[in-house]
Structures are given as structure tokens and as C-alpha cells.
Amino acid sequence: MLYIGIDLGTSAVKLLLMDSQGNICNIVSREYPLYFPHPGWSEQNPQDWYEQTMEGIRELLKDADKNQVAGISFGGQMHGLVILDEKDQVIRPAILWNDGRTTEECDYLNNVIGKDKLSEYTANISFTGFTAPKILWVKKNEPENFARIKKIMLPKDYIAYRLTGVHCTDVSDASGMLLFDVKNRCWSKEMCEICGVREEQLATCYESYEKVGCVLPEVADELGLPHNVVVAAGAGDNAAAAVGTGTVGDNMCNISLGTSGTIFISSDHFGVDQNNALHSFAHADGHYHLMGCMLSAASCNKWWMDEIIGTKDYAAEQAQISKLGENHVYFLPYLMGERSPHNDPNARGTFIGMTMDTSRADMTQAVLEGVAFALRDSLEVAKSLGIHLERTKICGGGAKSPLWKKMIANILNLKVDVIESEEGPAMGGAMLAAVACGEYASVEEIAEKFVKVTGTVEPDPELVAKYEDRYQKFRQIYPACRPLFEIIK
């Protein structure tokens, strides 16, 4: 049988076709626009997602036996606010995960409602990207739209609704809304009351590997699919990527170097760090995970290469970098503000340490190292909880760089396992579909069978020591700059 994984990203939807043995048969990607109606705002039109997903499925299956397609599932950008009216029509453009308009709402939630209560209700505190503060923003600034809300959805769940007619979400994606009781895997009545929403306005919540329905007959006919194609709930992009990299079960780790960057630690047990510096979410495998999320990771390198030095030849620029652990230039990778562990929307990208002999290669190296240092910040929080890691998987566009993987291994002092497929969320989505269809009994079983490690980047003790000294300097830069970020915002 064949399974489709749909990764609804920020810039494009990636679709993957997988067979029952985990072989990738085809991959298709289709882009859609991103809108910035005001500085710091970020929106998309959900109709664009659906149209490009449908076109993508047609392209994905053009040479396949459509009658063999058994299931579809998802990974998707998290936290986005999609609101529907009583006719299930989209009321306004979706407000995305990287939208920074909700500073006042986050201040209200964290400081008036209180972080302790938020953590008690949801296991998390408020960040500007989360969904609950977006709801409060609409309530305050667009009361006419707020009054029309019949359903509140997340991005990938809107696609699931269009395919099945079912208003659904999953536990991992719901965890990032600040409306979900993560420990008990259900909606938080207290948070609904705080945000002025009714539980019936929220989607039915499923485990990521559960069937939510079948593709609607008219949609199946349009795509040439059988009428019994199962749609599974899917997962938020990071949880789906973790499934795709085999980061399931207890004390496993995955680092994602995508537009945003994450360090994802799976656990059999629920846990929260004292300062809520890491997100505590439900995992797609039926258990839990901790996650540190930085808002700009591979996007920092793209910004530096494309916009500043004006090149698309990333490999050639990295080839000039030779002296690891000795760079005197540092870069704070906070181009979109920062989430973990600082929770500071005012933070900004910052170079420091340049001298007259600073080279272009030094600056490029600082960008790559800055992202790795920032991931180390979240790893240090995990260590404070008694979590001991020796190795990590890695995925995302940045993971294609051998140099960046070497930096990650030595700055975090972890063995970095490279896997055969780096498709992350799309692969995870297809795997969840296979579990929903009964092809495999559990997420752990399919991950153990499908995910193959093809190589490991080992830390070098001498380089680890050099980077330890650099990291201790790096971690002092943000606290020193923070008062300045308040002034220049």
C-alpha cells in the first residue's frame, strides 16, 4: 500500500509518497505566498494551502497506482490561528507562528493571569507565537471577527478538515496553542475561560496516529482516489519530524535546522522545567516531549548568504572556513526575536567582536556557530532537569551541511547521527498514516523498522574544549545586550 505525508510548511507544502516498507516513491513541493501586512506581522491565506496541497497530491500521484493509496497524514507549521464562521468559511488570513503582534497579550497572560497558573493549566507559559494570545488579539482588535468564530483551527488541521469534513486536531499540535492541558491530554477549561472561547469552538483532539475519518467522496473523485482512504490526525511539524527521524520512546533527541531550529527530547514521562524555558508538549508517539525552539536557524544562514553577501553558493562560502573553535566574531541569531530559552520578542540579530582583520569567512562562521550556541542554551536547560544525552539525530535543510553538523557535534558535545532520509515531517506524516491504517502496531514499531542511521559525526575532545570556552563567552552576550534591545525595539 501507499501512504501520503503532507508537510504544511511556512513557505511551501512538501508532499511525500511512501510504500509499506518505508521506501520513498516520490516527493513534490509547491510554494505559496507569505504576507507581512505590518512590521512584525506574518499571515497566510488558508485557501492557498489547500489549493497547493491538492495540486501537489495530483503531481505526487501522476505515475502511481492511485488505488494503492491507503492513508494520508500530516506534519504542519504549529501555532497558526485559523478561524472559521458558521458556514466553515475562513474569516480572516491565518496569523502564523512567527507573527510578533501579540506582545501585549503575552504580557497579560504571563504577568496578570500569571506564569504559575499558565504552567499549571497547560504546562507552558505564553510566547508571542502561541495561538491563545492571537485569539486575545483578535478579540481586542477585531471584535467583529471574534464574534463570528464558530471553529478555531491550526494550519494542518484546516487541510484535514477540507479533506474529510471533520474538525480535528492532534495532541502534539494542540499542545502549542496554550489552550491544552498537556499532562492530561485534553482542552483546558480554565484557559478557554481566560480566552473567552467555548470548548465546542475547538476541534476534537486525537492522538497523532489515530484515524479522524476518510477522504470525502467528492474530494476522492477529484483526486482519483478510492473512497476508503484513511486520514490520520498527524502532528505538529517538530513532532512529525521526530517520528520521521525515529525520535520516539524515552530519552531520544532530534535537532532540526529548518527555518526555525529545535532541540527535541522525547520522554515516556510528563515533565516541566522550573522556568518554562522549554516547551512541554504531548508527543506523537502517545507520550511526551520537551522542546527548545529558536525562531531563526537555517533562515539566519539564508539571510546572511542571500540578502547580505549576495550569493547562492552556500558550499563555497563554507569551504573558506577552516579554524573551528577559534573565531573571535560572535553572532546572536535572533532575527525574529527569540523564543527558547529567552522568550524575548525584542531580541535582535547581533554581530560582536569584529576587528580590522575580520574576514567574510569569519562572519559566515559566526552565523553558523551562533545558531549552534543558541541550541546549546536549550540543551543546558534540559541538563538542569537531570536529562543526560549522548547523541542526537539531525534533520532540516541545514543538516545537509557537513560543516554545520560538525559544529553541532562539538558545540553541544553530542554524537550526531545522520539518517538515510532527512525528509522529517513529511516522512513522519506518512508513517503516522501507516499506523492509522493498521500496517504497523505503533509509532515505535514503524520508527524502529524504517529509520536507518547511515553515519555519525563524533565530537572531537580538543575541539569540544575550544568550543566550551567560546560558548561560555557567547552566553554572556545576550544578557549584556538585552537592555539595548528594549531601547532599539
Q: Which of 237, 285, 377, 417 is catalytic?
A: 237
Tell me the C-alpha distance between 295 and 300, whole Å. 10
Nearest alpha-carbon partner for 417 in 381, 390, 398: 390
> Counting beta carbons within 10 angstroms of the beta carbon of residue 190, is it exposed (0 to 12), middle (13 to 18) or buried (19 or more)?
middle
Written as one letter, the residue type at 431 is M
Q: Are 281 and 293 in contact (CB under 8 A)?
A: no
- Give yes or no: 237 in active site: yes
Tell me the C-alpha distance between 34 and 39, whole Å. 13
Q: Are 15 and 56 in contact (CB under 8 A)?
A: yes
Count Cβ neighbours within 10 Å for each residue of 278-310 and write b for 16 or more, e otherwise: bbbbbbbbbbbbbbbbbbbbbbbbbebbeeeee
Tell me the C-alpha distance between 19 and 477, whole Å. 49
Instruction: Say if residue 287 carries a ligand binding annotation.
Output: no
Helix (H) or strand (E) holding 107: helix 103-107
Q: Which three cell numbers stand for residue 488?
A: 532599539
Number of residues written out for the chain: 489
**What CA–CA distances, in Å, run from 62 to 20, 26, 57, 214, 365?**
19, 10, 8, 21, 43
Tell me the C-alpha distance between 470 and 410, whole Å. 11
Q: Which three cell numbers stand for residue 205?
A: 483532539
Please, which residues bridge with residue 94 across strands? 44
Written as one letter, the residue type at 17 is L
Q: Are 92 and 83 in contact (CB under 8 A)?
A: yes
Tell me the C-alpha distance between 433 and 455, whole Å. 28
Which residues neighbour 217 within 8 Å (Cβ) at sequence distance 6 or greater? 227
Query: How many C-beta atoms surround the C-beta of residue 358 within 10 A?
Result: 15
Tell me the C-alpha distance between 308 and 338, whole Å. 21
Tell me the C-alpha distance between 74 and 218, whole Å. 21
Instruction: Say if residue 407 carries a ligand binding annotation.
Output: no
Tell me the C-alpha distance between 400 and 394, whole Å. 9
Q: Please report, in range form, the residues annotated as the binding site for substrate.
A: 78-79
Instruction: Just list the catalytic residues.
Output: 237
Binding residue positions: 78-79
